[in-house]
Structure formats: structure tokens, C-alpha cells
Amino acid sequence: MKLLEGKTVLVTGASTGIGRAAAIGAAQHGADVAINYAHSDGPAQSCVTEIKALGQRAIAVKGDVADPQTAQDFVAKAVETFGKVDVMVSNAGICPFHAFLDMPVEVVERTFKVNLHGAYFMVQAAAQQMVKQGHGGSIVAVSSISALVGGEYQTHYTPTKAGVHSLMQSTAIALGKHGIRCNSVLPGTILTEINKDDLADQEKREYMEKRTPLGRLGAPEDLAGPIVFLASDMAAYVTGAALLVDGGMYVNLQ
Ligand code: NAD
Ligand code: RM4
């Protein structure tokens, strides 16, 4: 059964990792997909090629989500190409691991701007378009287990993920009257570029694996199903919710 037939899905930061898996997962479920990306063209184009090979339409639009104008341009380009926006997956994020006491101001400000301001303006731009269209929509934000628990080298990052989680709660209220649902996924530890260096520390990696009741760290594809589900009409009565996708890591105290 295809869950997103005829839908237009937008995904930020989708040339790699969880965003890419979500974009491809949406296409496998019948959606046309617009992806935002920030850096090199190659991975973005390869994502587009993969989606087209599934028989769906796809475009890649370059832009830094930290700039509010990027959100307006991304939505405008998607509407120009596909005629509408049904789903926004706000995924782009960074986590430059760093100790707290000597954290550079620029690292804090950049992390806040990309992760939280970026999500805010993307969600707002998508919602403005959805309200104009008048037939509702679904917004899924990629928050994190780190919205709920801390990290010694993530003091600049965890507040942004708590912020994204909170943003989905407040926008669920603000947009419910327009039939727009807002939910977040809270991934645990998923093997991607974002934590490649951090998890090169074997001891840390083994600790994280041992903490996970399902016995392994996640793959980006582990997020595709939950994101597609929340985006789809299967979740028609789900809004303001946060779905942990962490192999059980969060609940594992002892
Ligand atoms: P990733 O590095 O593969 O993906 C992040 C993507 O965001 C990259 O494609 C990157 O180019 C893009 N990006 C970064 N800055 C951007 C900007 N300014 N504008 C536009 N795009 C930008 O890593 P990932 O793990 O797939 O991360 C995706 C999201 O998942 C992030 O928000 C991250 O916080 C969240 N997350 C990841 C994990 C994990 O363990 N990997 C866990 C919880 C949450
Ligand atoms: C997640 C979580 C993971 C970490 C990534 C970067 O939110 O904290 O453990 O590897 O961020």
C-alpha cells in the first residue's frame, strides 16, 4: 500500500542521512519530492536521480536553512514545479561536538541558527502555503532523543532539539484549525555523517550500542517508515506528538 500517492513532499537537508532516507521513502510511497540541500551538488543530484528511478518527480533546491529567505524560495520553487505542498519534513541540522567551558560563540550561534531558526522558518513557509491551499497538510520535524536527555559535548545542540520538539507542540495548536498536523520524530543514535567522528571513538560507540535494547545503532532508513507514517493520512488524528525512534535507547536506565 502506498501512503503518499499524489502528495508533494518537501525535505530539508536531504542529500544525505535521515533526510535522504525520508525523501526516498516518500517517493517509494508515491510522492513527488523537493529536496533542499546546502553543500555539494553531487549527492543532491544522486538523490533526485534515485527518486526519478522510482517513477516520481523530484527537484533539488540549494540553500542555507539558516537564512529565512531560503524557506520562502524552497516552497516557491516546489509550488512552481509541483503546484502544491502537502508535507514538510524539517530535517536539516548540525552537531559540531564541542566541550562546554570553551565553546566558541560562533559555534553556538550557528547551531542555533541552522537547527532551530532554520526549522522555524521552513515550517512557517510551508504552513503559509498550506493555509493558502486550504486542504491541510502535515509537518514532520526531525528533533532528537537529545530533546529529552543531555550530552556533555552537545550543550549547544540539545537545546535546539528541545526547541524543535516544542515548536511542533505550539504549531500543532496554531495550525490545527487549518487541518495541518505537526509532529516530531526523535531519533536515537543513527549512523550518519553528523556523528561519524564522534563514533570513531570505539569505546563510546560500544557504550551507545550496549545502551540500545534492540542491540544496534540506527540506520537512516529506520526513520523513513515513521516519517512517512506521520506524513500520511494513516496518522490523520496524530498532531503535537513526538515519536522516539531509538531502538529503545531512551528508556534503558538499568
Ligand atoms: P547528516 O549530516 O547526514 O544530515 C544533515 C543534513 O543537513 C546534511 O545533508 C547537511 O548538508 C544538511 N545541512 C546542514 N546544514 C544545513 C544548512 N544550513 N542548510 C541546509 N542543509 C543543511 O546527518 P543526519 O543524522 O541525517 O541529520 C539529520 C537530522 O537528524 C539532523 O537534524 C540531526 O540533528 C537529526 N538527528 C540525527 C541523529 C543521529 O544520530 N544521526 C539523531 C537524532 C537527530
Ligand atoms: C543525536 C544524538 C546522537 C548523536 C547525534 C549527532 O541527537 O545525540 O547520539 O550522535 O545527535
Q: What is the pLDDT of residues 38-47, one digit of tens each?
A: 999 999 999 9
Q: Is 207 part of a structural domain of the chain?
A: no
Task: Report how far ligand 2's centroid is from the alpha carbon of 166 (Å).
Answer: 18
Grid cell for residue 92: 536539516
Within a domain: 172:
yes
Q: Is the CB of 95 under 6 A from ligand 2?
A: yes
Residue 132 located in a structural domain: yes
Of residues 156, 169, 170, 161, the one with CA closest to residue 188? 161
The whole-model pTM stands at 0.98
Length of the chain as a residue count: 254
**Domain of 91: which CATH number?**
3.40.50.720
Ligand 1 pocket check for 22: Cβ under 6 Å: no
Task: Please give the pLDDT value at position 163.
Answer: 98
Give the dihedral of Cα atoms 76, 225, 117, 125; nearest 10 deg: 20
Give the pLDDT confidence score for residue 180 in this predicted structure: 98
Predicted confidence at residue 145, as pLDDT, reads 98
Q: How many separate domains does the chain show?
A: 1
63 assigned to some structural domain: yes
Low-confidence ranges of the chain (pLDDT < 70): none
Instruction: Evaluate whether residue 1 is within a structural domain.
Output: no
Range(s) of the domain holding residue 166: 8-189+221-246
Query: CB of 92 closer than 6 A to ligand 1?
Result: yes
175 inside domain: yes
| 32 CB-near residues (< 8 Å, 6+ apart) | 7, 8, 9, 56, 57, 58, 82
| Residue 177, in any domain of the structure | yes
